[in-house]
Structure 1
Amino acid sequence: MRVGGLGRGLRLFLLGGLALFLYLVIEQGVAELAQALKAAGWGLALVAALHLAPMTADTLGWQRLVPAGARLPFATMLWARWIGESINALLPVAQVGGDLVKARLLGQRGMPGDIAGASVMVELTLAVFTQILFTLLGVTLLVLHLGGGRIAHTLLAGTAVLSVLLLAFAWAQRRGLFSALVAALGRCTGRRDWRALTDSAAALDRAISRTYADRRALLGCSGWLLAGWLLGAAEVWLVMGLLGHPVGWAEALLLESLGQAVRAAAFLVPGALGVQEGTYLLLGTLLGLEPPLALALSLAKRARELILGLPGLAAWQMAESRAGGRKGG
């Protein structure tokens, strides 16, 4: 698919998601939702602050994948992760554009490009792997709460398909994925003078292979990433308390794990707009939550994304401006 066609496709998904979002908000009643969110009030700022906990855990895991001699200060990597999450949450980049920017930012701060790219690629793969484990925890809780059913079977089937795709992706990474992609692109375009691009792809492939060979780093990263997923459930627990309807940790884990799973599956819809809201409505109904309350949970998470994400986008633009200024000078 050409870039222009991909852009039009993402815009169509955005419009579809926006239409679904507006329908659900109007269907549940704007006044009722506003009343529910009003109860949270300034507590939403606390929700945003709490999100720094899983973000920190994720960054600690990501840092484990970088060789000691090439590591940047933790604060720098946390800053890059914040910007990457902001881009993925608020811009139509199929939830991966922020990861590319993370690698670029680390390169601007002095980390070798192949090491930065390898750390981002392997961390992204491990993030999906740990999310699969987190989703299985949510499915288990769902089965314990409701027994087996179509929803549980659908989630398990989707998880199985994703696991196979992830294994294939990891296998391809360890066997020169990026060199193969550059070679294929050269054959398609008929060009053979991409020596610099070919060398860069080969260096990235070697760095990825070295990263996968460090099992201690992989285990350490996976542990921190899984901790990050679990810490994310605290956000649901806090929001529901602020909304005046406290839930237990099991319910918070169920809502977070399955909500994140569906959001990941809807990666082509920018921010999973509308899809996330529909998911929380369905899961909330299964747990006995009133529909406006379940939808208010999703909107509170959206508010957190805006509170952290808009400054993150501004920080990205400032970083790019400074990088452009250094090149111009």
Structure 2
Amino acid sequence: MKRAVAVLWLVGLAIAVALVVWQGAAEIWAALSRAGWGLLAVCAFYPIALVVDTECWRLLLPAASRPSFASMLAPRWICDAVNGLLPSLQVGGDFVRARLLTLRGVPGVDAGAGVVADITAGIVTEILFTLMGIGLLLRHDGAGRTAFVALAGLLLFTALALSFYLAQHGGFFRRASRLLERFIRVGDWEPVVGGAEALDAAVIATYKRRPEFVRASLWRMAGWFAGALEVWLALYFLGHPVGLGDTLMLESLGQAVRHAAFVIPGALGVQEGGFVLLGTAAGLGPETGLALSLIKRIRELLLGLPGLLAWQAIEGRHFFRRRA
């Protein structure tokens, strides 16, 4: 598994390097240099999306075990850092944030159910956000083929998302633990199965709180729009401002491309190619689309690396407290 991940990462890196060489490293550097201190402004915009996504997650936890908003900011930030920078199939951070909540006293079942429901809210709203992006893409001449491919991918993603939702109502975690038990016959699996059944019940109970799930989904949709404003800001400092429609199209389909390439760590290379293609459809030069993707990478590094360090610091404190 590690070897496959390493190979995929090298393939993605090769694609990214090839794109830079194709467009010219000097031209890309010149585009990034034009942004200058604007890169810091783009980075400073990220906390807005972080706050919105955290509120979505908080609403999905039971009121009885719901921690304060401030105490959930760091786990959400660390989740983004892990998913963006580590080879975790863009889901490892969700396990991490659930664990960090348990360290803050939230019952494990509630923490797990809240994360699963938050993932579902993210999937549902991303489908709507992507559909809007496809509609905006069709405004451009010659984008019909690209939009057709995007729509086909969206239909496949929607089918998988619906299957995931239905599986949650059919005892997904209990079935998964039973299946794992067939392959790994060590220890007593009853506590594992019992915990999985409790998690299934907690997830279904979360969906039954429909007003809260709808409110959480609206917050999550606001988070997607906040990401679009980040794209607008980046293009403004690159010297290529675009309209709101093109901004939404670039962000919605750019996120769809990134999540479709979840098997490649960080969607390296795929994200860059996606922004080159989408930027061209929006009337931007390929070098501008590539520079936009690199600005997103820079933001991930500048804010993600401290997140990984914060995660290690939290785990270290917990370890030494247990030792004590």
Pick the TM interval, shorter chain.
over 0.9
1:37-116 matches, cutoff 5 A: 37-116=32-111
Query: Equivalent residue for 2:270?
Result: 275
Count the aligned residue pairs: 324
Query: Equivalent residue for 1:3?
Result: none
Alignment partners' CA distance in 2, 1:69 and 1:45: 39
Stretch of structure 1 that moved more, 89-98 or 195-204: 195-204
Give the share of equivalent positions with the same residue, in percent. 50
The SS at the match of 1:268 is: coil
Distance verdict in 2 for CA 1:148–1:294, change over 3 Å: closer
Stretch of structure 1 that moved more, 48-57 or 273-282: 48-57
- The amino acid that maps onto 1:25 is V
Query: Equivalent residue for 1:166?
Result: 161
Query: Equivalent residue for 2:114?
Result: 119
Structure 1 unaligned residues grouped into runs of 5+: 1-5
- The amino acid that maps onto 1:103 is A
Deviation by residue 1:40-91 (Cα, 9 ceiling, x = unmatched): 1121111111111111111111111011111111111111100000011111
Paired residues of 1:45 and 1:307 also in contact (CA < 8 A):
no
Query: Equivalent residue for 1:317?
Result: 312
Query: Equivalent residue for 1:286?
Result: 281
Candidates 133, 136, 142, aligned match of 1:141: 136
- The amino acid that maps onto 1:8 is R
Runs of 4+ in 1 over 4 A off after TM superposition: none
Query: Equivalent residue for 2:209?
Result: 214
- The amino acid that maps onto 2:307 is G
Candidates 173, 181, 197, aligned match of 2:176: 181
Paired residues of 2:49 and 2:223 also in contact (CA < 8 A):
yes
Alignment partners' CA distance in 1, 2:21 and 2:155: 35
- The amino acid that maps onto 1:254 is M
Alignment partners' CA distance in 2, 1:277 and 1:327: 44
Output the TM-score relative to the length of structure 2.
Answer: 0.97
Alignment partners' CA distance in 1, 2:286 and 2:143: 23
Alignment partners' CA distance in 2, 1:131 and 1:185: 30
Quote the offset at 1:185 in angstroms.
Answer: 1.5
Stretch of structure 1 that moved more, 267-276 or 178-187: 178-187
Query: Equivalent residue for 1:255?
Result: 250
Alignment partners' CA distance in 2, 1:162 and 1:292: 29
Candidates 256, 264, 267, aligned match of 2:259: 264
Query: Equivalent residue for 2:297?
Result: 302
Alignment partners' CA distance in 1, 2:313 and 2:41: 26
Query: Equivalent residue for 2:198?
Result: 203
Quote the offset at 1:7 in angstroms.
Answer: 2.1
- The amino acid that maps onto 2:89 is A
